Amino acid sequence: MLSTIDMAIVAVYAVGLFVLAQWVSREPAGQEKNAQDYFLAGKALPWWAIGASLIAANISAEQIIGMSGSGYAIGLAIASYEWMAAFTLLLVGKFLLPIFLKTGIYTMPQFLAQRYDDRVKTVMAVFWLGVYTFVNLTSILWLGALAINTVAGVDLTMGLIALSVFAIAYSLYGGLRAVALTDIIQVILLVMGGLMISWILLEQIGDGAGPLAGFTTLTQQAPDKFHMILNEGHPHYMSLPGLSVLLGGMWVMNISYWGFNQYIIQRALAAKSVDEAQKGIAFAAFLKLLMPVIVVLPGIAMFVLNPDLSAPDKAYPSAMNLLPLGIKGLVFAALLAAIVSSLASMCNSISTIFTMDVAPSLGMVSDGGQRSVTLGRAVAIVAMVIAVIAAKPLLGNFEQAFQYIQEFTGFFTPGIVAIFMLGLFWSRTTATAALIAAIASAALSLLFKLYWPELPFMDRVGLVFVLCIAIGVFWSLLRPRAQTGFVDPAGVSFATTQGFNLSAIVVTLILVFFYTVWW
């Protein structure tokens, strides 16, 4: 349970965040928010806000609770999702963002409409709305409620409602600007709190000799948890199949998430310029290198301190109960910061896609002004209510929620990456070929899941991606059509600044070091 001091720290955080969000969202007297203000923060986000918001949106309950649980069960190998993401971010910043920003889009479905047609846009928009509401939003809510139930004793249902109301309250008025410009505070709190819990756990393992001694003891007491590449005989090989994390389906998963995911890329679309977006991407890449210390190491530490937990996803909440007075409140506030920021970001992306892509197809007028903003706010509230109702029935029976999310999204991400990559870099790809490839992704994934169950899901993702590319190319050549909306990469500048290039070199060298040491 939280002490009075801990509760006071959490209360100060909550009030401060709400006040700050309203302050940064204010408009000049007599001026109303339009769609660009609400959904893209007026296309004026600075690099530090972009980088911080990318991480705050990404790191939530599903990462902190879920990846700590996977760290408890699997070990450091689960950190590949974080460390490979750092390199993926740099690729997105250099090769994808310049094209997206040139088109002036609000959403990923809008790009599909420009490149292909409204059929592709509508199908993918409806798909993303479903996934964001019933998979991502529900998982963040459920794992967040589970955490505050374990740490503070709050009833699960009350926790779900409290998190949803707070997230909506602080972000509903200001939209993306309220979320992005407060995320620098959220990330500072998240990093401080995460480092504190890792420090304290390592101190306990090292019997007070310091965190470095504790880490050495941890590697000695749990050596099997410190392998980045799992052997085929490992009990969790199906989740992280050896070299596939470096050479296979992990790339497809990461490029889909960081490059074509509205929930993430929306921050970069709101940048002042390409250079500003790329600086933000580089900042986020460095933060991703730090994330395993915050979200994976506590799980491994709890495996040594308490190897008899009833479920892996209880590792992080149980770790918080070991913290001293005051520190527990700060770490709890950091966890809340991660949860509510991700909830607010997800709701904003849901409202953006519905308002800009789905509403016009339903005959709803989207004027780009106050009417669009009002509709977006209403959609955010409805999505949150649905997620609160659906969270427990969908996620209540899963021990490792993070792995569940990856497994589910792995059915669709090969097709998403295939149609975007073909649309971006091959002018002859047709709209019908894109639709067929997208549908084939789900169909082939299901067939492989049913009839080749021994194939690890990450290998399945890579194989289905290759097949979707082949299907898209085959159908485009079989039934060629004149295409409009193709942005010729030859006309886009992919030049990057010396600072970005240096960042890419440093990140790459650090990754090589990590994988060499813990191969």
* Phi (first) and psi of residue 45, to 5 degrees: -70, 135
Owner of token pair 């210390």: 293
* Three-class DSSP category at 45: strand
Q: For the residues 404-418, what does the mean pLDDT come to?
A: 83
* Three-class DSSP category at 316: helix
Q: For the residues 1-23, what does the mean pLDDT come to?
A: 87
- Element spanning 130, H or E: helix 118-131
pLDDT for residue 30: 60
Per-residue tokens: 464: 């289905």
Domains, the chain, in order of start with CATH, read 47-409+488-517 (1.20.1730.10)
Q: For the residues 65-78, what does the mean pLDDT come to?
A: 89
Owner of token pair 């909440």: 317
* Three-class DSSP category at 102: helix
Per-residue tokens: 509: 């060298």
Owner of token pair 């993303």: 128
Distances (CA, A) of 291 to 79, 88, 95: 8, 15, 24
Q: How confident is the model at residue 92 (pLDDT cuts 50, 70, 90)?
A: very high
Q: For the residues 275-282, what does the mean pLDDT come to?
A: 96
Q: How confident is the model at residue 329 (pLDDT cuts 50, 70, 90)?
A: confident
Q: Which of the 8 DSSP states describes residue 25?
A: T
Residues near 483 by beta carbon (within 8 Å), at least 6 away in sequence:
115, 427, 428, 429, 430, 431
9 in Cβ contact with 329 (< 8 Å): yes
Query: Residue 173 pLDDT more than 70?
Result: yes
pLDDT for residue 399: 54
Question: Secondary structure of the chain: what % helix, strand, coil (to 5)?
Answer: 75, 0, 25
Cα-based torsion angle of the residue sequence 269, 274, 276, 279 in order, rounded to the nearest 10 degrees: 100
295 in Cβ contact with 76 (< 8 Å): no
60-74: string of b/e by CB count within 10 Å (b at 16+)? bbbbbbbbbbbbbbb
pLDDT for residue 29: 64
DSSP H helical ranges for 172-314? 176-205, 211-221, 244-247, 249-259, 262-269, 274-295, 297-305
The residues pairing with 56 across neighbouring beta strands, listed in sequence order, are none
* Phi (first) and psi of residue 208, to 5 degrees: 85, 5
Give the span between the Cα atoms of 491 and 190, in whole angstroms: 40
Q: How confident is the model at residue 420 (pLDDT cuts 50, 70, 90)?
A: very high
Give the span between the Cα atoms of 196 and 128, in whole angstroms: 36
Q: Is 36 exposed, middle or buried (0-12, 13-18, 19+ CB in 10 A)?
A: middle
Give the span between the Cα atoms of 177 and 489, in whole angstroms: 30
- Give the number of residues written for the chain: 519
Q: What is the mean pLDDT of the chain?
A: 88
What is the percent of the chain with per-residue pLDDT over 70, rounded to a whole number?
95
Please name the amino acid found at residue 268.
Answer: A
Half-sphere exposure (Cβ direction) of 376: Cα atoms closer than 13 Å: 35
Total Cβ atoms within 10 A of residue 324:
8
Q: Pick the residue with more confidence: 28 or 462? A: 462
Query: Residue 133 pLDDT more than 60?
Result: yes
* Phi (first) and psi of residue 259, to 5 degrees: -105, -30
Q: Which of the 8 DSSP states describes residue 355?
A: I
Please name the amino acid found at residue 450.
Answer: L
pLDDT digits (tens, 9 = 90+) for 290-303: 999 998 999 999 99
Give the span between the Cα atoms of 260 and 251, in whole angstroms: 13
Query: Residue 235 pLDDT more than 80?
Result: yes
Query: Residue 434 pLDDT more than 90?
Result: yes
Q: Which of the 8 DSSP states describes residue 427?
A: T
Q: Is 93 exposed, middle or buried (0-12, 13-18, 19+ CB in 10 A)?
A: buried
* Phi (first) and psi of residue 17, to 5 degrees: -65, -45
Q: For the residues 343-354, what does the mean pLDDT come to?
A: 93
* Phi (first) and psi of residue 145, to 5 degrees: -65, -35
Q: How confident is the model at residue 116 (pLDDT cuts 50, 70, 90)?
A: very high
Q: How confident is the model at residue 400 (pLDDT cuts 50, 70, 90)?
A: low
Give the span between the Cα atoms of 217 and 496, in whole angstroms: 43
